[in-house]
Amino acid sequence: MKNPVKTILGLGILAVLCFYGWRYQTQGILFDESGISGQFETILDDVLDRNGVGESDVLKTQRREIKKDVPLPTLWIETERSVRLSPTIVLNDIIQALERSGIPLKMKVLSRNSRSGSTIVELGKKKNQVFQRIIFLTSGKKQSPSAQGRGGAVTIVIDDLAGRLSDIENLEKFFALNVPITYAVLPQEKMSRAISEKIHANGQEIILHQPMEPEDIQHNDPGGATLLVSMSEPEIQSRLKKNLQSVPYALGISNHMGSRFTADEKAMKIFLNSLKAFSKSNPLREDLFFFDSRTSPKSVARKTSLSLRVPYQVNDIFLDDQDDLATIKKQIQQLKKEVRRKGHGIAIGHIQRGHLLQALSETIPEFHKEGIEFVPLSQLIRSPQ
Ligand SMILES: [Zn+2]
């Protein structure tokens, strides 16, 4: 005897097959996702709007119909828009909001690529199915630092954050200087995450201050998060990953100590390849850069970054190796000379030093007077060509 449930089920399946067959015959596709494309676009409009990107900041919008096997023949609308980003908006915040908003529709951030003056973010279901491409134009970033202020651009990096409990309080005083500063946060410390959150909430830039093996490790042990030249590739990879996870929002990595490690070509190659691998698997951390603190004149960071195509930059000057006001001010004058000479300059200071803050607050007006602009480190990073 025939089972009526089976019959109905059979007819149902047949109807569905007929529908898809008809669609495939007439339109050449099996799935039509143009509806969901529109839905997603509306959601993103809303997210951009809520994050301070108004209608007038959207310079161009283009939509095109895509028919592609992904792997089955599917139709959807790909929207590309160019968006102007004012300097007060934190790109990472927007990207994270975009990512969250896509979850109900199973959309995610597929890639994030920074070029000179722009960051391109792609969102969609999978690598070969992009629904939304947003080109954030970040006003001449990275291209010609000297054109940024009349008199050039200067970056201050404050090192060794999260090492001491007092760092959180001191941070407030640096925020009060009211110029963009980049903060290098030590990983795996009790306060690494809280400090990173605080810096991020204040709209300032963060890098991971990665401890690396120094020449005299017997007297200067940089602790358990350190990369050593004797480590294997998997060891370096997993330690770096753990460290990056403990410092959220980090856009790049600098070395803490590391006079031995940064001078070792084999170790640096493994490290930079691990950095690239991490970047690749984390769209929100794409384009992580390496900033060489330059603790050794024998550093091979420049050479290896170039050959492995890792965005790179190097420190020009340490401000407070000697912690007295007159010396620090002298170093700051040296930094200004550097800016005049090549259009930009980068200096490292330390959160715990007693006189740095005063020296900076007394000299920052001089930079302004000469038309030198303070910029976060990411704006001076050289992208591999
Ligand atoms: Zn350090």
pLDDT tens string 280-300: 888 778 789 999 999 999 999
DSSP alpha helix (H) spans, 28-124: 34-50, 91-102
Q: 287 alpha carbon to ligand 1 midpoint, in Å?
A: 22
Q: 136 alpha carbon to ligand 1 midpoint, in Å?
A: 33
Q: Angle 167-175/356-369 helices, nearest 10 degrees?
A: 20
The answer on 287 and 163 residing in a single domain is: yes
Cα 290 from Cα 86, distance rounded (Å): 26
Q: Give residue 344's pLDDT.
A: 94
What is the extent of the structural domain holding 98? Answer: 31-137
% of the chain beyond a pLDDT of 90 = 57
C-alpha closest to that of 27 among 69, 67, 62, 84: 67
Contact partners, residue 317, CB within 8 Å, separation at least 6: 331, 334, 335, 338, 345, 346, 347, 348
Cα 370 from Cα 165, distance rounded (Å): 37
Q: 380 alpha carbon to ligand 1 midpoint, in Å?
A: 20
The answer to the question of residue 272 being in a domain is: yes
Q: Give residue 115's pLDDT.
A: 66
Boundary (domain end) residue, out of 91, 108, 137: 137
Count of domains for the chain = 2
C-alpha closest to that of 84 among 61, 110, 62, 64: 61
Instruction: Give whichever of 70-84, 127-141, 227-241 has the largest mean pLDDT.
Output: 227-241
The answer to the question of residue 194 being in a domain is: yes
The answer on 150 and 124 residing in a single domain is: no
The answer on 338 and 307 residing in a single domain is: yes
Q: 172 alpha carbon to ligand 1 midpoint, in Å?
A: 20
Q: 184 alpha carbon to ligand 1 midpoint, in Å?
A: 8
The answer on 101 and 183 residing in a single domain is: no
Question: How many of the other CB atoms lie within 10 Å of CB of 87?
Answer: 13
Q: Give residue 385's pLDDT.
A: 59
DSSP alpha helix (H) spans, the chain: 4-27, 34-50, 91-102, 167-175, 192-201, 233-246, 265-281, 301-307, 325-342, 356-369
**Mean pLDDT to the nearest integer, 85-89:** 74
Look at residue 312 and tell me whether its pLDDT is greater than 50: yes
99-153 confidence digits (pLDDT tens): 888 988 999 988 887 766 778 889 998 888 999 999 888 754 444 444 455 789 9
Q: 295 alpha carbon to ligand 1 midpoint, in Å?
A: 9
Q: Give residue 176's pLDDT.
A: 94
Q: 94 alpha carbon to ligand 1 midpoint, in Å?
A: 30
Q: Give residue 142's pLDDT.
A: 42
